[in-house]
Structure 1
Amino acid sequence: MSTKDKFTRRTLLKTAGGLALVSGISAPSILRAQSADVIRIGHLTPRTGFLGPLGEYAVMAADLAVEEINAAGGMMGRKVELLKEDSVNPQTASTKAERMIERDKVACIIGEISSASCLTIAQVASRNKTLFINTGGNSDALRGKDCQRYMFHVESQNSMYVKTVGRSFLQEGLVKGKKWYSLTADYAFGHDLLRVAKRFMEGNGGQFAGDDLVPTDATDFSAYLLKIRDSKPDLVVINLAGNQITNFLKQYAEFGLTYPVGGFGFDTALAWAAGKGNFVGTWPVVWHHLIDTPGSKAFVGAFTKKYNKPPENQAWGDYVATKIVAQAINELKSAESPKIIAHFEKGAKFDLLKTRPGYFRASDHQLMHEMYAVKALPAAQVKNQWDIFSSSGPVPGPNEDLEIIAATKEENSCTFPS
């Protein structure tokens, strides 16, 4: 490399840095804006470990969304490239997010399932003024004390899950004067979910007969099942995550326990993996493949054609998040994160494949949308490995405000860092 070349490159970098100081934006932001050929989107999600089965659905859905976006003309007429990485754990997620932003110049990052990893990605995104859309982390804290201006949430918060399925528990007489026994995943998501579940239970006249924290690498639930049997609860509450739910359901069936089962966090892929006759109970879900709307039918058809199986709820999250980003960029004719954030905060509406559009709540960046409570079908009524539950109608109902199931400011307050 010649001295002239070195000088030219240094001059360019110094110029970019000087412009950044004058304008208040970072040099990486300027360099990203100068990329005219493609728009790069970063996709981070766990593809190994106990959340890996869900991460694989997320990747498949994001790939499908990008294919459809490019077939329709891309973003601002540019081809979209999806850069995909296994986030593994919070530390790795942070490192890979940094690399995607600084080296690969992504316009935004989409994905994740672990609430702990969501927080580390959000911190990197905020430092670099880059949009991050969380598609799988449920913790209320991410929308409360840990909220970040550059983080938005397509995935529902724990409060939305609890209030959605809580309606079913109330209707079934499983709350007031009843005893619950809960098993909770021992990490950020589980701790937060248990706190929200206890708030709901205590507010509706019930109590916990017991609650156990379960390590995320636990696969044998025998000791917990014996404790459940001894306590004789009115409802067994599953606040587990990933393939732990599958393992628990299989072992619950093997033990022959008949106490009603419910959960406050759920993914349909985990119920499918449990097998016919093992899936029981009532659960909340952000979306499922049996929703009877034109948008959902089209998504299910395209996904099934490409992958020979229907999508589950995690697939929905990454698919619609990618489509939301494309819609925003094309409407704004800009991929700059501050402009997209302002657009979201002004109440932009998005088709979520449900009965009505959704929007991001400006106060905490939570997507406001309908949810569902699903109930396992008796084994004799299960006709295939996918259609294993019946579903409630949309929650909230058609005449209710979408925000009725979300945490109130008193329950979970967010103040964005300046």
Structure 2
Amino acid sequence: MANAYVLVINSGSSSLKFAVIDSQSGDAVLSGLGECFGMSNPTMNWKYAGTKYDVSITGGGDHHKLAIKRLVEIINEYGLAEQVTAVGHRIVHGGEKFTKTIRINEEILAEIIKLSDLAPLHNPAGAKGIEAAIEAFPTLPQFAVFDTAFHQTMPSKAFTCTISNELYKEHGIRRYGFHGTSHYFVSREAAKVIDKPIEESSFISVHLGNGASVCAIKDGQSVDTSMGFTPLAGLMMGTRCGDIDPGIIEFLMKKGWTQEQIFSELNKNSGFLGVSGLTSDARGILEAMEEGHKGATLAFQVFTYRVAKYIASYMVTLDSLDAIIFTGGIGENALPIRREILKYLKIFGYKENEAANADARFGARGIITEDGTPVAMVIPTNEEFVIAQQSAALL
């Protein structure tokens, strides 16, 4: 019997990430990225059977459509067309309406576009990817998997913003949270590691990458998370500021800054980049810190301190804690960052196992604390697998 593959599409404003995933094993049969859309030199690269390919996207018009047209050719070229049974789309914002994966029709697509007010940089791009995929694969069922869906189990005490309730009722201003597919996946995998049903397991999931968030998971459900109404809230990130005093916005406006300048600063010139004055990349921060760069050292200190504070604060949301889970590009690979965070948590009994921590990198998973002490572990995330699984489950 042929394997059932799902084409997973993650459409950004200037990029298109894609993968053909085996919905049973989670293996990526084909994966790639189209980028620099809207610019003069859009490109597309992919990996198949261990070989990497790289081409320019030629022709005028919509680069998302051109990329998906090329993707169709690639799928046909490798003989995968008959095995692809569905298309799953990562959609950033589902608001309060979408609490689970759903099959896309005209009404659902219109709702996704309508939610663009809540995610103006992401949902329009996701909708564009859906439209292009429907045109390219008209006979395949298409599904939307929402970053926000996993967090819709948060209680009102966790998602309520401390502003006028009228603003919530009129504009939907509340905490939504993001990275839901990642937190969902790693918590299920962590439950397997400790050999406990997910419905009886509680974790603090720490997704650290260019975007970063913490999630408290009780009995398998999200009960709190650090990102808020937008992905700008919570932890310091690659270029995003995370939590700041909102009075800073008023202060800068009085200094003559425009709305566009302020939010460009908070989204694109803050975080690792802003504090270090050097780079948004954690690898560059760690390298520069070793060379004595003061800005990089400060960025490292601020980041690890704030992550540890969030982890500690989320312990109050749980009756018990089975493990802290590190995931995401930084969480899976940046040994000094995990080590520093665990040092901050020593008051709770966490003690690093140096050898295990060093081993749990570059795709390897494992418990990184000493036996007999509270458990922290590394679980590589696989959001594409979640999208493929949940899409296939609805066929």
User: What TM-score, normalized by structure 1, do the two folds share?
Assistant: 0.31
Query: Which has the larger strand fraction?
Result: 2
Which structure: larger Rg? 1
